[in-house]
Amino acid sequence: MSYSPSNSLPMPSLYTAIEINAPKSAIWQALIRKEDWLKWNTFLYDRNPALPFRQGQIVQLSLRRMREETETEFEPRILLLQPNVCLRWIYTAPGFRSEHCFELQEIGRNRTQYIHQETVTGAVTALFAPFLKRDEQQGMRRMAREIKQYVENQREYQRSPG
């Protein structure tokens, strides 16, 4: 399955983007190495971090929209895993469908645009819309800042003398 940038998803319900001073490959490694998420990620958690992402696989994740909130568990299916470009999963429940997409776009030498969007549809979406717009959007923005800091610090560390 090939991937065409952002225009392949319907208009996202939630969207965040941040410029990261690192190549796409460094950001991709931070994103897919679930066993390292606890080092930098306070939004998403993997309940089985040793199991790598594979297209078509169901993964056991949790998210914490607000730092003080208890985790919400969900089991999305990986729809697309295109290295250094896109990770997309979908979660469905009765009356609810959520599709997350993480996209990496090169914007210059060792500069990448990290994009995280979520499209929510279904009959019960209207009930959750205010909650999602406020809390989940904050969590997505927090994750974007955290991956930026983590990757940029890793790069600085790699350049420092022994």
Q: What is the pLDDT of residues 79-132, one digit of tens each?
A: 999 999 999 999 998 888 999 999 999 999 999 999 999 998 888 777 766 666
pLDDT at res. 124: 75
Does any domain span residue 2?
Answer: no
Residue 31 belongs to some domain of the structure:
yes
Residue range 54-64: mean pLDDT, rounded: 93
CATH number at residue 112: 3.30.530.20
Q: Residues, the chain, total?
A: 162
Indicate whether 125 belongs to any domain: yes
Does residue 46 lie within any of the structural domains?
yes
How many domains does the chain divide into? 1
| Residue 90 within a domain | yes
pTM of the model: 0.84
Is 23 domain-assigned?
yes
Q: For 16-30, what is the mean pLDDT?
A: 97
Q: What is the pLDDT of residue 129?
A: 66
User: Can you give the pLDDT at residue 131?
Assistant: 67
The radius of gyration of the chain's CA atoms, rounded to the nearest angstrom, is 16
**SS3 per-residue string spanning the chain:** CCCCCHHHCCCCCEEEEEEECCCHHHHHHHHHCHHHHHHHCCCEEECCCCCCCCCCCECCEEECCCCCCCCEEECCEEEEEECCCEEEEEEEECCEEEEEEEEEEEEECCEEEEEEEEEEECCCHHHHHHHHHHHHHHHHHHHHHHHHHHHHHHHHHHHCCC
Domain carrying residue 30: 16-159
**CB-neighbour burial class of residue 30 (10 A; exposed 0-12, middle 13-18, buried 19+):** buried
Residue 5 lies in a domain: no
Straight-line distance from the first to the last Cα atom of the chain, in angstroms, rounded to the nearest whole number: 43
In this predicted structure, what is the pLDDT of residue 7? 44
Q: Are 132 and 116 in contact (CB under 8 A)?
A: no
| Residues linked to residue 142 through DSSP beta bridges, in sequence order | none
Asked whether residue 25 is domain-assigned, the answer is: yes
Reply yes or no on whether the pLDDT at 10 is more than 50: no
